[in-house]
Amino acid sequence: MSEEILTVENLKKYFVTKQGTVRAVDKVSFSVKQGETCGLVGESGSGKTTIAHTLVGIYEPTEGRALFKGQNISKVFNQRPKALKKEIRIVFQDPGSSLNPRRSIKQILELPLKVHRICNDSDRVERVMELLRMVELPPEDYMYKSPQVIGGGEKQMVAIARALAPNPSFLVLDEPTSALDVSVQAKIINLLMQLQQNLNLTYLFITHDLSLMRNITNRVVIMYLGKISEVAPTVEFFQNPFHPYTKMLLSSIPTVSDEEENFKPKEVISRGEIASPVNVPSGCSFHLRCPQKMEICSRADPTVVEVEADHLVRCHLFSDGRKPT
């Protein structure tokens, strides 16, 4: 785990709508290292999915850029070279809508193989079966089935197999388990972790579930209203959260044991709602909900500062680069 495989620099994505400009992503910078799992966390409306979609080429950034292995990838899909499409793949949140109900699983898995000319016609069926085995689905039972007749977890396994079909090196996982039960989620997460090791993959894992993040990521990026609030290595992040929003998120998590309960920061009680990205509050966008609001917060937007090694925060409490006493 060393060099940075993906770097996002001052990425901006605005959408112009009738109601006004939606600032979905506003000057976001972070990077993902080769072989790690980077977690991108935020509530709905935080812009995490917009980042995912920009990275795979559904949107073109309004400003800023993203570099993948040194190559500028701030282009939409139809301007991207095929080799790049092969390298960066995405798994969508809703497996029900990401698999065409009118195509068989075999046809679905064959498409990336055909497009990228991964193997010749005679080997293709073999490769499809291999992919299905990779995600622990018996090929004989699943190949000719329609996605309509299999369970949600199995659908997501097929979607993962499809993402892996052209041997990518980078996977964007956009809430791959949020629509699934925990026992199924556990299975899929296990599979993903195993595949990461075997195939030397790098993950950008997007989710709203902090407990899940805690267990699978190396680094966590927290977003609020299109901006980054905090970035830190996972263990450090959970033991020593800085940003008031992070603390609010952590203290809101429902827990299943007393140890977990004791682990949560106590002092922050959730209040208010995330503002509309069309009408972002002035200054720090979190100030209306923040329990530690200061006079400056409604006036000026804080900048990202590195408080400890690799631990970045965007909050006025830390504006001088030190922890408040």
Partner 1 sequence: MKKELLVAALSRSRASFSKGWYKFSRNPLSVLGLIILFSVILTAIFAPYISPYPEHAGAFTNFRESGLPPSLTHFFGTDSVGRDIFSRVIFGYRFSLVLAVVVLSLAMPSGIILGLIAGYYRRRWIEIVIMRITDIFLAVPPLVLALAITVMLSPNLFNQMMAISLMWWPWYCRLVYSLTTSLRHEYFVREAELTGASKAHILLREILPNCVAPVLTKMTLDAGFVITVGASLSFIGLGVQPPRPGLGTMVADGAKRLPAEWWMAVFPALAIVIVILSFNLVGDGLRDMFAVEEV
Partner 2 sequence: MTPLLEIKNLQVRFKIYEGELKVLNGVDMVIGEGEKVGLVGETGCGKTTTVKSVLRVLPTPPARISGGEILYRGKDILKMKPAQIRSLRKGEMSAIFQDPLAALNPVFTVGHQLYDVIKYSSASRGRKRLSKKEIRARSIAVLKETGMPDSERILSNYPIQLSGGMRQRVCISEALSASARLLMADEPTTNLDVTIQAQILRQLSELVAKKKSSILLISHSLGVVRNLTERVYIMYAGNMVEVARTKDLFADPLHPYTKALLKSVPKLTGEGISRGIRGRIPNYLNPPAGCRFHPRCDHMMPICEKERPAFFTGGDSDNHKVACFLCRR
Residues that bind partner 1 (CB under 8 A): 56-58, 77-78, 82, 85, 89-90, 92, 94, 97-104, 111-112, 115-116, 125, 140, 143-145, 162, 166
Run of H or E including 223 = strand 219-224
| Cα–Cα separations (whole angstroms), residue 183 to 38, 179, 188, 189 | 23, 12, 9, 10
Quick one: what does residue 36 bind among partner 1, partner 2, none, with the CB cut-off 5 to 8 Å set by partner type? none
Quick one: what does residue 322 bind among partner 2, partner 1, none, with the CB cut-off 5 to 8 Å set by partner type? none
Q: Smallest Cα–Cα separation from 252: which of 271, 233, 234?
A: 271
| Cα–Cα separations (whole angstroms), residue 104 to 45, 84, 100, 128, 133 | 34, 26, 8, 12, 17
Rounded distance between C-alpha atoms, residue 117 and residue 132, angstroms: 19
* Closest CB to partner 2 among residues 152, 281: 152
- Burial of 227: CB neighbours in 10 Å, binned 0-12, 13-18, 19+: buried
The window from 24-32, 74-82, 86-94, 250-258 that contacts partner 2 (CB under 8 A) reads 250-258
Smallest gap from residue 132 Cβ to partner 1 (A): 12
Beta bridge partners of 71: 68
Contacts (CB under 8 A) with partner 2, residues 141-170: 151-154
* Closest CB to partner 1 among residues 112, 302: 112
Strands 219-224 and 37-41: parallel
Quick one: what does residue 162 bind among partner 2, partner 1, none, with the CB cut-off 5 to 8 Å set by partner type? partner 1
Quick one: what does residue 201 bind among partner 1, partner 2, none, with the CB cut-off 5 to 8 Å set by partner type? none
Sign (positive/negative) of CA torsion 73, 76, 81, 83? positive
* Closest CB to partner 2 among residues 66, 135: 135
Quick one: what does residue 124 bind among partner 1, partner 2, none, with the CB cut-off 5 to 8 Å set by partner type? none
Tell me the per-residue interface mask from 197 to 236 with partner 2, x by CB under 8 A, - otherwise: -----------xxxxx-xxx-----------------xx-
Give the distance, in angstroms, between the CA of residue 67 and the centroid of all CA atoms in the same chain: 17
* Closest CB to partner 2 among residues 200, 276: 276
Cβ neighbors of 324 (< 8 A, separation 6 or more) are: 317, 318
Q: Which residues bind partner 2 (CB under 8 A)?
A: 43-44, 151-154, 181-187, 189-190, 193, 208-212, 214-216, 234-235, 238, 248-257, 259-260, 263-264, 269-271, 273-274
